[in-house]
């Protein structure tokens, strides 16, 4: 079993400034636009801390399974989804939670979802992160991920320009397990699928390595819960609970990428462009968001919270040290990956959070289609990584074995 020793010293001034900005921002938003929105900014900050301290990434977990058949990260995702389903389905079946009307993310299943999720999966491996991963690593001081984030926003607004055409293609109507199988039936079907995926990763890992990988122990003393790293399973539980808190406060699950489209559209209009005639922005919901300040937008406020929460966590861990010396090929991969992530997320009605995590937690079959298509995109992305990242060339043959 590996043991990790912590040697970095917390950067308390940075964490204090970031934490203060988070709390003051939440207070200002709460006063101006309502207490629930202010609390949601704090929830975003907690999500950023959990993501950073638990290093809960989707991109690396999928890449490690594809190249090395190590499935610890994938199994943690199944635990996260199982807890979310157990919490979400009864509330969605009832239509309310603690007196708040709630709804899930349930979307049609068509070519746009398949193509969009595949492009998103490809972008994950080139960009170096998913939607949540891009936010928490950028907030944690990864300069390269700021490039990915910028082009994620650009790709998102381009996706809104083409959105109407993609939605004109044939598609099946949205399907919710909560409605078609009932709360209990939907939970049972979901848990069986999660168990099957987890069992498959165990089988493949044992076939390749003979035994399952054991989580590293951390020599952190009593500081571990403050400075990290946290156990992966603790991250899985915390993310499920915080997504449920989002459902209770916002009336819908956690999402990320709709805010990127909004930021890109507002930026484009600030440069003299006009997106108001694009079909995506003519729906009443999106049109209202475009007209209002981003501080009224739940997803935007939570994203800003995630960035600040990750910064707090990185400073407490003593790891906030941005490095702007980025190889040219890595920059190119960040640009291409970011564009694919943004464009794919719009086509597929969401990302690894809005479509995969929250979609499956909502009982939407489109979330399962997204998972399959995005995983296929990751497989191609892993094959392309050696052209951009020299360290990946050594590991590529490992993907040929099983």
**What letter does residue 214 receive in the DSSP assignment?**
P
Tens-place pLDDT, residues 199-208: 999 999 999 9
What is the dihedral angle through the alpha carbons of 172, 377, 132, 256, rounded to the nearest 10 degrees? Answer: -30
* Low-confidence winner among 22-26, 58-62, 63-67, 217-221 (lowest mean pLDDT): 217-221
pLDDT of residue 227: 81
- Alpha-carbon span 137 to 128, nearest angstrom: 10
- Please tell me the predicted confidence (pLDDT) of residue 340: 98
Q: What share of the chain is helix, strand, coil (3-state, %, to 5)?
A: 75, 5, 25
Tell me what the mean pLDDT of segment 233-251 comes to. Answer: 97
Helix (H, G, I), strand (E, B) or coil at 110: strand
- Assign 320 a pLDDT band (cuts: 50, 70, 90): confident
pLDDT classification of 4: cutoffs 50, 70, 90: very low
Q: What is the pLDDT at residue 22? A: 97
Range in 25-39, 138-152, 207-221, 251-265 the model is least confident about: 207-221
pLDDT of residue 323: 84
Binned at pLDDT 50, 70 and 90, residue 322 comes out as confident
Q: What is the model's pLDDT at position 216? A: 75
pLDDT in tens, 251-267: 999 999 999 999 999 99
* DSSP characters over 303-352: HHHHHHHHHHHHHHTT---------HHHHHHHHHHHHHHHHHHHHTTS-I
Residue 393 above 60 pLDDT? Answer: no
pTM of the predicted protein model: 0.93
Task: Judge whether residue 1 has pLDDT over 90.
Answer: no
Mean pLDDT of 385-392: 84
* 142 pLDDT above the threshold of 50: yes
Q: Quick check: 29 pLDDT over 60?
A: yes
Residue 223 has pLDDT above 70, yes or no: no
């Amino acid at each position: 079993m590996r043991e990790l020793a912590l040697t970095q010293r917390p950067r308390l001034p940075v964490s204090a400034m970031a934490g203060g900005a988070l709390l003051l921002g939440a207070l200002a938003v709460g006063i101006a636009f309502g207490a629930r929105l202010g609390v949601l900014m704090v929830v975003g900050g907690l999500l950023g801390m959990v993501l950073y301290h638990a290093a809960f990434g989707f991109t690396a977990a999928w890449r490690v399974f594809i190249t090395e058949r190590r499935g610890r990260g994938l199994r943690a995702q199944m635990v996260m989804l199982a807890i979310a389903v157990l919490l979400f389905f009864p509330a969605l079946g009832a239509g309310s939670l603690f007196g708040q009307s709630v709804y899930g993310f349930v979307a049609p299943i068509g070519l746009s979802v398949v193509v969009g999720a595949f492009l998103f999966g490809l972008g994950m491996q080139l960009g170096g992160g998913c939607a949540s991963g891009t936010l928490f690593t950028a907030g944690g001081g990864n300069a390269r991920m700021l490039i990915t984030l910028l082009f994620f926003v650009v790709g998102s607004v381009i996706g809104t320009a083409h959105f109407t055409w993609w939605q004109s293609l044939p598609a099946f109507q949205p399907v919710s397990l909560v409605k078609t199988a009932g709360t209990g039936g939907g939970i049972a079907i979901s848990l069986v699928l999660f168990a099957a995926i987890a069992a498959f990763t165990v089988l493949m890992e044992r076939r390749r390595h003979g035994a399952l990988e054991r989580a590293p122990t951390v020599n952190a003393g009593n500081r571990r819960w403050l400075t990290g790293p946290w156990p992966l399973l603790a991250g899985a539980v915390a993310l499920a609970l915080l997504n449920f808190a989002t459902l209770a406060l916002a009336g819908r699950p956690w999402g990320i990428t709709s805010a990127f489209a909004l930021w890109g559209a507002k930026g484009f209009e600030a440069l003299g462009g006009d997106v108001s005639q694009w079909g995506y922005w003519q729906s009443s919901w999106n049109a209202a968001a475009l007209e209002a300040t981003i501080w009224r937008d739940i997803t935007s406020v939570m994203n800003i919270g995630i960035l600040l929460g990750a910064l707090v966590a990185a400073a407490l861990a003593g790891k906030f040290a941005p490095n702007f010396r980025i190889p040219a090929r890595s920059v190119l991969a960040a640009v291409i990956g970011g564009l694919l992530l943004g464009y794919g997320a719009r086509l597929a009605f969401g990302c690894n959070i809005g479509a995969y995590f929250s979609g499956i937690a909502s009982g939407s079959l489109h979330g399962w289609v997204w998972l399959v298509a995005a995983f296929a995109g990751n497989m191609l992305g892993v094959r392309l990584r050696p052209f951009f990242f020299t360290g990946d060339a050594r590991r590529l043959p490992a993907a040929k074995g099983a």
